[in-house]
Amino acid sequence: MRERGRKVHRFVPRTTTKPVRVLNYLELESRIRGGIPTATAQQRTALRSAGIDVVTTPWVGGGPVDAARSRLTGGRAFREYDLAHCNVVGPGSVAVARHAKRTDIPLVLHAHVTAEDFGESFRFSDQVAPALKPYLRWFYSQADLVLCPSEYTKGVIESYPVRAPVETMSNGVDIDSLEGYEGFRDETREQYDLDGLVVFSVGEVFERKGLTTFCRVAQCTDYEFAWFGHYEEGPAASSEVRRWVGNPPENVSFTGWMDDKRMAFGAGDVYLFATKDENQGIAVLEAMACGKPVVLRDIPVFEEFFTDGEDCLKCETEAEFVEALERLEANTDLRERLGANAMETAAAHSLDRVGERLTESYQRLLGETDSATP
């Protein structure tokens, strides 16, 4: 049965003894760093807490080679699941999408990747980004539902245009994963020779994330600046990353990959995020969950989630960033007020709410026949 050209899935009633089984797939999971793996891990935590049976690989045997071998010997290539949810856009995810269409399995594609936020990341990414848009338009259009972390990203995706329903859903923040961050303060500061007011950022070191602004603002102040996160050193590194990481200002430290993110949030005092384009900003929510005052670039996506003067300070120019830091250093009450309000903002993005929203979306897709008319 089809409704207005869209696939309608057969609904199988569930019992308490057999929960819905969902594939939550992150292609190349062991090789990807940054916000997408964090968002995926948070989805899985939220879903399991909501009673959903989560499988993380579509392949029989655990990998595509094993799956191909199984298929060649007369077995199955894909594991059994009721709904597929993919978080990246590579060939493995394309295979999952095609399998879902062939077998009438509902397909959710998460729009963590856009052509706009791919720019200014790796070497040659600006040249690749325009060619990425037609591919993303085709890929996301296969979905029964496209999920976006923000209304901003939804607008970007719909402008391609994508021919699939598009809805927004916060990535959320795993507050429990940050428990005990305070205990890492002295150890981390000693390890990286940090003292006084520490302005910090967390995540992949990209120019799009505001690398040049971060370093230039540091040059205009006497504060310690630390960027906790992986950076490319090989041929994929952009010229800006090679320039600033290779020869940083005296008061800037690039730590590289952190085994425990709580080290960063324990050591830092003011979170500065001068990103030029973002789909939401999980690390911002993590900083807020730790009660840190946050200074952000004033870009459209942040209008949805954060309010200047209430739970953060927003800036447009380097001079404004410097002024914001000086205000925070001089005004303890302002730091404490912003931090307290930030914790309330983070609480509104709890994983309980993410789990509820995801479960509602899955049930709607699996039960679509109930509301369909022949």
The residues, ordered by sequence, that sit 6+ positions from 164 with a Cβ below 8 Å of its Cβ are 109, 140, 141, 142, 143, 144, 145, 146
Residue 12's closest CA among 86, 63, 81? 81
pLDDT tens profile 314-355: 999 999 999 999 999 999 999 999 999 999 999 999 999 999
Domains of the chain, CATH where assigned: 2-172+351-371 (3.40.50.2000), 175-347 (3.40.50.2000)
Share of the chain above pLDDT 70, in %: 90
Q: Give the C-alpha separation, 77 to 291, whole Å.
A: 47
Whether cis (ω within 30° of 0) applies to the bond prior to 64 is: no
Distance CA 315, CA 325 (A): 11
* Separation of alpha carbons 267 and 286, rounded Å: 14
Amino acid 126: pLDDT:
56
**Which DSSP symbol is given to 178?**
G
pTM of the model: 0.88
pLDDT greater than 60 at residue 119: no
Average pLDDT over residues 94-100: 96
Question: Tokens in use for 334?
Answer: 């302002």
Three-state SS letters, 21-66: EEEEECCCCCCCCCHHHHHHHHHHHHHHHCCCEEECCCECCCCHHH
Once rounded to an integer, what is the mean pLDDT over residues 144-170?
96
- Using the predicted structure, report yes or no on whether residue 123 has a pLDDT greater than 70: no
The 10s digit of each residue's pLDDT in 7-43 is 444 334 444 456 799 999 999 887 777 789 999 999 9
Here the tokens at position 257 are 């990959």
pLDDT at position 175 over 60:
yes
